[in-house]
């Protein structure tokens, strides 16, 4: 899969101007660098990722002027009767995000991917929020994710995650740039409600999913390590 295929298609259709297209393409190496870094730091392959040529915004109330920007999402999909996890990365994040911010968001989505896979392996996911966004209500329950220190052996990457996700992601400079250079220029956007930002899988669907035993063993090790780290924090 070409991770830029949707961006290229939007550019050909005239939805994305030349300068923005060039900016995203020229900065896409930050994404590939981040994915390689996460794979090296975790020993686990990153799921399929692609650039969404739109900004995804969400609000708990469609009549409200308050909204959150979803810079990336972790999405489970079934293709050819096989289960896959896809990381959707918004083009504005690639265009305007700092390297540390982009890598932190990629790492956070990776933790959502691990958590989603763990829950599926234990038949523990019938309906759950599985995507990262700017709403603190979504990121508040950090205890359900693996502790980053249990997953990554990259100190700089851990610092990026700690700095950007102390209790809910917030980057005012990035948000201001996205509003000014993307939303106010009427570039592509997708509106979703928080209620739509969930995944619902039936028990029958879950039973058909086959996961690599070696990967599941790795998840068990990470879960045990994560639990020990959190216990040390408490006591």
3-state secondary structure of 62: coil
* Most confident region among 116-125, 186-195, 197-206 by mean pLDDT: 186-195
Q: Distance (Å, rounded) from C-alpha 48 to C-alpha 107?
A: 14
Q: pLDDT band at residue 167, thresholds of 50, 70 and 90?
A: low
C-alpha distances in Å from residue 35, one per residue of 24, 141, 152: 16, 24, 12
Nearest to 128, CA basis, from 136, 140, 118, 116: 116
* Most confident region among 98-102, 145-149, 160-164 by mean pLDDT: 98-102
Note the pLDDT of residue 182: 96
Q: Which two tokens stand for residue 224?
A: 């045990």
Looking at the predicted structure, is the pLDDT value of residue 135 above 60?
Answer: no
Q: Please say whether the beta carbons of 131 and 70 come within 8 A.
A: yes
Greater pLDDT, 221 or 232: 221
Note the pLDDT of residue 191: 86
> Which of 15-29, 130-144, 208-222 comes out lowest in average pLDDT?
130-144
Q: How many domains does the chain have?
A: 1
Note the pLDDT of residue 77: 81
State the Rg of the chain over Cα. 18
Nearest to 112, CA basis, from 63, 47, 16: 47
Q: pLDDT band at residue 117, thresholds of 50, 70 and 90?
A: confident
> Which of 81-85, 161-165, 205-209, 226-230 comes out lowest in average pLDDT?
205-209
Greater pLDDT, 218 or 84: 218
Domain that holds residue 144: 5-234
Beta bridge partners of 82: 79
118 phi/psi in degrees, rounded to 5: -60, -45
Query: Model's pTM, two decimal places?
Result: 0.85
């Amino acid at each position: 899969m070409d991770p830029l295929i949707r961006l290229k298609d939007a550019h050909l259709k005239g939805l994305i101007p030349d300068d923005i297209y060039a900016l995203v393409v020229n900065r896409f190496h930050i994404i590939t660098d981040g994915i390689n870094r996460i794979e090296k730091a975790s020993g686990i392959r990153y799921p399929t990722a692609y650039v969404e040529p739109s900004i995804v915004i969400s609000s708990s109330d469609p009549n409200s002027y308050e909204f959150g920007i979803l810079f990336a999402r972790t999405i489970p999909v079934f293709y050819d009767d096989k289960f896959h996890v896809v990381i959707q990365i918004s083009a504005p994040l690639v265009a305007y995000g700092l390297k540390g911010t982009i890598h932190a968001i990629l790492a956070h989505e990776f933790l959502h991917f691990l958590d989603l896979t763990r829950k599926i392996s234990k038949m523990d996911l019938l309906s759950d929020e599985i995507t990262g966004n700017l709403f603190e209500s979504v990121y508040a329950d950090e205890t359900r994710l693996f502790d980053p220190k249990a997953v990554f052996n990259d100190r700089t990457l851990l610092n990026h995650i700690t700095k950007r996700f102390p209790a809910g992601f917030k980057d005012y400079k990035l948000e201001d740039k996205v509003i000014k250079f993307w939303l106010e220029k009427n570039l592509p956007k997708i509106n979703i409600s928080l209620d739509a930002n969930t995944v619902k899988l039936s028990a029958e669907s879950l039973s058909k999913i086959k996961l690599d035993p070696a990967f599941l063993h790795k998840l068990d090790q990470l879960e045990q390590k994560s639990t020990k780290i959190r216990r040390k924090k408490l006591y």
